[in-house]
């Protein structure tokens, strides 16, 4: 009978296999280069995807959104794109979000653009869906410079993984939510207002 720890390991392995977590440093998923490379590096080294990102990936998986993988080979590197539905020769990428964005998010644009090149399609659509069923759609045409930049970032990540060297910090608004915040930035203490007021003598005792 499996102990609690073995059961947890087995469940994590099953999720990794369902989400197709890559362990070969020559194989880079597009979604690993759409955001902070340093975070993707740590995710690989931890041999795990942080729980929050797992939930997002699982949510996409359970909605049946990421169904098909396509590979792009360049030199000794393989770039892997999650290809969403192809309708009338256009690639459609779905994103489940809490709030509809007013413009496409850069990470989604990079991922869809890579799918267009890897599937050899000219046009695509990004569809954002909220849990209550509201949607907004953006159409895009493929862009070579953006794909070249995606390839360049994949090469950098692959090389640094092989060299065991973490990429440089990529400070952004996502850092506050990132599991590796404390590895990247100095440790800090949090003071509530009343304590701060006492430290700076702003409050009469
Ligand atoms: S804290 Fe910021 S810079 Fe560091 S890994 Fe996370 S996203 Fe990247």
Cα dihedral 156→162→164→166 (10° resolution) = 20
Pick the CATH number of 25-199 from 3.30.479.30, 3.40.50.11290, 3.90.320.10, 1.20.120.1200: 3.90.320.10
Atom of ligand 1 nearest to the CA of 170: 3
Lowest mean pLDDT among 18-27, 83-92, 191-200: 191-200
- 30 CA distance to ligand 1 middle (Å): 18
* Cα-to-centroid distance, 44 and ligand 1 (Å): 14
172: which DSSP letter?
A: -
Separation of CA 175 and ligand 1 centre (Å): 5
Band of pLDDT at residue 45, cut at 50, 70 and 90: confident
Most confident of 46-60, 162-176, 191-205: 162-176
Q: How far is the CA of 55 from the centre of ligand 1 (A)?
A: 19
pTM of the model: 0.77
- Which of 180, 187, 188 has most ligand 1 atoms within 8 Å of CB, for mutation? 180
**Predicted confidence (pLDDT) at residue 23 exceeds the cutoff of 80:** no
Verify whether ligand 1 is closer than 6 Å to residue 41 (CB atom).
Answer: no
Please tell me which residue, 97 or 18, carries the higher pLDDT value.
Answer: 97
For the CA atoms of 74, 40, 82, 109, the dihedral, rounded to the nearest 10 degrees, stands at -90
- For residue 75, give both structure tokens: 């030199």
Angstrom distance (rounded) from CA 180 to CA 176: 9
DSSP state of 47: T
User: What percent of the chain stands above pLDDT 70?
Assistant: 70
* Residue of minimum CA distance from atom 5 in ligand 1: 39
């Amino acid at each position: 009978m499996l102990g609690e720890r073995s059961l947890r390991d087995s469940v994590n392995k099953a999720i990794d296999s369902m989400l197709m977590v890559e362990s070969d440093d020559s194989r880079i998923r597009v979604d690993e280069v759409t955001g902070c490379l340093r975070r993707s590096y740590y995710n690989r080294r931890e041999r795990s995807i942080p729980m929050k990102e797992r939930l997002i990936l699982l949510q996409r998986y359970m909605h049946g959104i990421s169904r098909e993988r396509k590979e792009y080979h360049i030199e000794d590197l393989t770039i892997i794109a999650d290809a969403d539905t192809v309708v009338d020769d256009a690639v459609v990428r779905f994103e489940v979000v809490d709030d509809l964005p007013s413009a496409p998010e850069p990470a989604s644009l990079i991922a869809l653009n890579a799918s267009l090149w890897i599937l050899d399609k000219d046009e695509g659509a990004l569809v954002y869906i909220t849990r209550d069923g509201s949607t907004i759609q953006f159409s895009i045409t493929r862009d070579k410079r953006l794909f070249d930049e995606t390839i360049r970032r994949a090469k950098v990540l692959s090389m640094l993984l092989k060299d065991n060297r973490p990429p440089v910090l990529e400070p952004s608004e996502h850092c506050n939510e990132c599991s590796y915040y404390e590895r990247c930035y100095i440790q800090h203490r949090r003071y509530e207002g009343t304590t701060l007021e006492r430290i700076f003598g702003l409050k009469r005792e």
